[in-house]
C-alpha cells in the first residue's frame, strides 16, 4: 500500500484528505505549527509516535483501523505520543482530527499557544472527550 510492501493500511490518502479538509476551512494559519505524522504499519517509517498528532494505520481483521496519539515531539526534547483510546475507521480519521484541532482552538490561551503547548497544559482529557464523548473518554482511559 502507498509504495510499501509492508504497509497494512493506507497513509497517503489520509494525509491528502486531512490537508484538503483544513485547506478548505482556511484554518492552517489559525492552527499554527503542527506536526501530524502518519505510518501505515507498525514499522513506523512515518514516525507517527513523535508527531504532535500521530496516526498509526493497522489492519484489524481485514479492516483498516487508525490509532491516534497526541503529544509526541521529535525535537531534542523527544517525547512519545500518548494513545487516545480505541482506533478509528478510515472514514472517521479526518473527522477525528477535526475534533482534536477544534478542541485545541477552543481551549488554547491565545494564538501564541501552539497545539503541543496546549496539549502539555491541558493533558489528554479534553481531547478524549472530543473524540469519544464524556462516557467514552472514561472507558478509553
pLDDT tens digits, 9-55: 888 899 999 999 999 999 888 999 999 999 988 888 888 999 999 99
Parallel, antiparallel or unpaired: strands 53-60 and 36-39? parallel
| DSSP reduced 3-state for 133 | helix
Is 29 part of a structural domain of the chain?
yes
pLDDT in tens, 81-106: 999 999 999 999 999 999 999 999 99
pTM: 0.91
| Cα–Cα distance measured from residue 23 to residue 20, given in angstroms and rounded to the nearest whole number | 5
Question: Could you tell me if residue 95 is inside a domain?
Answer: yes
As for how many domains the chain has, the answer is 1
Residue range(s) defining the domain that contains residue 134 = 12-140
Mean pLDDT of 66-74: 96
pLDDT of residue 140: 59
Residue 68 lies in a domain: yes
pLDDT at 10: 84
Which grid cell sits at 56?
498509526
| Domain presence at residue 130 | yes
Q: d(Cα 78, Cα 127) in Å, to the nearest integer?
A: 21
**Do 82 and 70 form a contact (C-beta atoms < 8 A)?**
yes
Residue 136 lies in a domain: yes
CATH number at residue 86: 3.30.413.10
Q: Would 5 be classed as within a structural domain?
A: no
Amino acid at each position: 500500500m502507498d509504495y510499501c510492501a509492508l504497509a497494512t493500511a493506507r497513509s497517503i490518502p489520509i494525509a491528502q484528505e486531512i490537508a484538503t479538509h483544513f485547506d478548505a476551512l482556511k484554518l492552517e494559519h489559525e492552527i499554527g505549527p503542527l506536526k501530524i505524522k502518519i505510518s501505515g504499519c507498525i514499522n513506523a517509517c512515518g514516525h507517527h509516535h513523535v508527531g504532535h498528532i500521530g496516526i498509526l494505520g493497522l489492519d484489524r481483521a481485514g479492516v483498516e483501523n487508525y490509532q491516534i496519539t497526541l503529544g509526541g515531539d521529535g525535537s531534542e526534547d523527544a517525547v512519545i505520543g500518548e494513545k487516545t483510546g480505541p482506533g478509528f475507521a478510515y472514514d472517521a480519521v479526518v473527522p477525528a482530527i477535526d475534533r482534536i484541532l477544534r478542541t485545541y482552538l477552543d481551549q488554547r490561551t491565545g494564538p501564541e499557544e501552539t497545539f503541543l503547548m496546549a496539549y502539555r497544559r491541558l493533558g489528554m482529557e479534553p481531547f478524549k472527550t472530543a473524540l469519544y464523548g464524556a462516557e467514552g473518554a472514561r472507558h478509553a482511559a
